[in-house]
Structure 1
């Protein structure tokens, strides 16, 4: 079996953002391969395996309601990899904030995420005016 096509990578990565937006941690975790790694933000020690990845999402995403949306098209390659810009809006330290992120992912032959690297830092975080 081959790695996902560029079009399939676009669909998979858009689905990931939809699941983050929905706060569906179990569905997000099911998108990962059993031996996947997450570096969020990139440069941190990798989180390895579904169990640790699930704990990571429960601690972060499970702690507050977030909204997530793509802010540009998913860029996909022909080797089962892609990158996408998106924005996560959340309450952080009691303030409405937005975080602009670029995720880079690689997928296995079953279309599951093998690696996820999230590129962001405090320079990408902005405080939003209360709604």
Structure 2
């Protein structure tokens, strides 16, 4: 898998989060893909459970703007340092950041994600 192909999949992943487009987002993943988001929580089978994830984003946020600050590709994996800025439905601004490690399979689909970030910090901003 080329560095460019991996960066293209990652760009589509974040673009579909920004668009809050569940079908486009899920299409980036292998059928048996697993997500650890955040790491420390039970892993989720993406194709079984992640439409609900995008629905939750739509329920809370009016707008999400992800920025990929750095992408480090090694083999079929990439570590991405990202920042997310959002505006909630109640007009609160939030900024949170993290690192997600992506494993890409030979078909060019995301096989596994491991996201390192603190959801409690985001929720605290929404409640402030």
Q: TM-score range by the shorter chain?
A: 0.7 to 0.9
Distance (Å, rounded) in 2 between the aligned partners of 1:42 and 1:26:
24
- Alpha-carbon RMSD across the aligned residues, in angstroms, is 2.4
User: Residues 1-131 of structure 1: matches in 2 within 5 Å?
Assistant: 4-59=1-56, 61-63=57-59, 64-78=61-75, 80-91=76-87, 94=90, 95-121=92-118, 125=122, 127=125
Which runs of no fewer than 5 residues in structure 2 stay unpaired?
none
Name whichever structure is richer in strand by fraction.
2
| 8 A contact 2:86–2:93 mirrored in 1 | yes
Which runs of no fewer than 5 residues in structure 1 stay unpaired?
none
* TM-score of the pair, normalised by structure 2: 0.81
| 8 A contact 1:86–1:102 mirrored in 2 | yes
Count of residues paired in the alignment: 123
Relative contact order higher in (CA < 8 Å, ≥ 6 apart): 1
Distance (Å, rounded) in 2 between the aligned partners of 1:40 and 1:77:
21
Distance (Å, rounded) in 2 between the aligned partners of 1:23 and 1:122:
18
1:101/1:65 Cα in 2 relative to 1: closer, same or farther (>3 Å)? farther
